[in-house]
Structure 1
Amino acid sequence: MSTVPVVLGVESSCDETGFALVSNGELLGQGLASSASKHAEFGGVVPEIAARAHLEAAVPTLQIALHDAGVNLRDITHVAATSGPGLATAVHVGLAAAKSVAWSLDVPLYGVHHLAGHAAADTLEHGPLPEQAVILIVSGGHTSVLHVKDLVRDPIEHLGDTLDDAAGEAFDKVSRLLGLGYPGGPAISKAAVGGDPEAFSFPRAMLRPGDAPYAFSFSGLKTAVARTVETIERAGDAVPVADIAASFEQAVVDVLVTKSLRAVQEKGLETLVIVGGVAANQRLRAVAQERCDAAGVELRIPPIRLCTDNGAMIAAVGDLLVRADAEADGLGIAADPSAVLHGAQLPLPAGFQV
């Protein structure tokens, strides 16, 4: 067995099956399979279809990761797996696969919080996180502004979360309204090209004085888009899909950037990190960069390949836990599909104060 830590990360929280290997902050290789096309006709992820797809993809995807990394199964010294949150049946499949590998190799196993994985993904591209940073996690199921110190040693402070739809969920619903298909994020972005982001004045919720400074709400925005489409169709006019998509996208981006940048400034920090599937959105990346540059704030966003769910982000957390000498979890670790993000490790270590 290698004396250099080689961490296998396993991700299966939704519709991506990911296996990856990380050593000392370096991504050695990964394999990724997606069942998104199987869910497209339903307009969203079907848990049982996702679970079956994970079962079918687990071994081939692990083999791809090993080949990509140029290592053998016996070179793995630690295993980390998403144990929550996520679709219950999907999380169970990946966790079972991780347990099987850890048991067969007799190596330590870590349960990892999926959202901490998104935060750790940035370290694979830009190196260690600063001592303190504000992290905006924005994905299909989550939208949160976090104050993060040491990602694996310190409690994670929620500054604000979405009160209803996550940003990615809003993209999916509006995409469905416009007949653009699933997943909604890429579909909306593609449709918005050439559209006028100021054509429609859609609401920017929770930005008025007196509103919760870091909380989000996107359900009203989704409803405003629906009513706009309904009004246009009732008048017998063609729906200007590009303009609506661009105006909706701009409304979401304005709120995300305004609130997360406000958190950085009010906390007296210097770095904003944006992660999660919606961080792949080019409009979000451009606007965030422009506003951070104007404010003198460092912006870190992982490359698009590390924004969506993948095994590399889970292996990155596992690698950080190993280097922090964190106590590993036993093979009896359970899935926690609705786990709240308080710390990177699941379950939280004994004595961990939140």
Structure 2
Amino acid sequence: MQTHPPAVHMVQLLSGFQVSQALYVAAKIGIADRLVDGPLTVQQLASDLDCEPLALSRLLRTLASLGVFTEVRPGRYGSTPLGATLVSDGDGSMRDLALSWMETHYAPFAGLLDTVHSGRPAATEHYGRPFFAWLADHPEQVGRFSRAMANLTNGVKTAAIAGYTFSGCRTIVDVGGADGALLAKILRATPGAAGTVLDLPHVVAEALPRLSAHGLGDRLAAIGGDFFEAVPPGADVYLLSMVLHDWNDSDATRLLANIRAAATPDSRVVALELVVPVGDEPHMSKMIDLTMLGMVDGRERTEAEMRRLFEAAGLAFERVVATPTPVSIVEAGIPVG
């Protein structure tokens, strides 16, 4: 295995901004879609995608060196399993995530230096208000963001819950569930259960066509509301899918306290979160925590921090269940007495 001097390694790290933009361009113009049926020449791709051939060949060469595409012979490129994640749809697609991050996250991150000094999210400074407030006034990005979250569901969250059972559960409320993609998968695997997505009215309005497309009829419903005000009462399970990390401890505790107030003694809370491991080991949670730092007022948390959060809201923290993915399942119940 080849090792590079620290200076070379640092150059590679510093070029990350170029890599993310190259991936954005590849996703935006649809290179992966064109390569689904097999390799094509640069000239064919350039003609199909209305690109300048030499510029496109340089982009492809760079991304091929990173394993996104492969040069099967000089001037002819095919896709790879990694590149296939940039197709428009299908399980494992990350295309909408690539587009959403680059169109809404990339520019604010130029202000990360100020964020580290002040603790104030760079996106708040860039957009002049908190990111989610800005997003609500940009419907084209609301849809993109919801589809990006669906990308995460298909690519990561589904694998996280694959071995987790909701058997015996009759009602599930997916708090902040966007388009209901994860809840729909759970309901298909849990006969007899029904679920409700709770999200902001503009999110629910944009997601309604996709909710009906899940084909679950009246087993899957959605209501518009603010989970900081209240959540539907009496559910067997309150599901939170990478929602807590969007908020600071005070707001996250308020959300969990609303669930506590709405729950019955037999209710459970199931939260999918990136629980940060202690130590220097690489983990997706540590990079996503940087996303939280720059974009919102939230954060990723260790198991100990997660326990404190749930207990501060009056819930009985039980355990963290590891999954084959970087996402863990956090379980809590309702204290007796």
Whichever of the two has the greater Rg, that structure is 2
Normalised to the residue count of structure 2, the TM-score between the two structures is: 0.30
Greater relative contact order structure (CA < 8 Å, 6+ sep): 1
Instruction: Please state which structure has a larger fraction of its residues in helix.
Output: 2
Normalised to the residue count of structure 1, the TM-score between the two structures is: 0.29
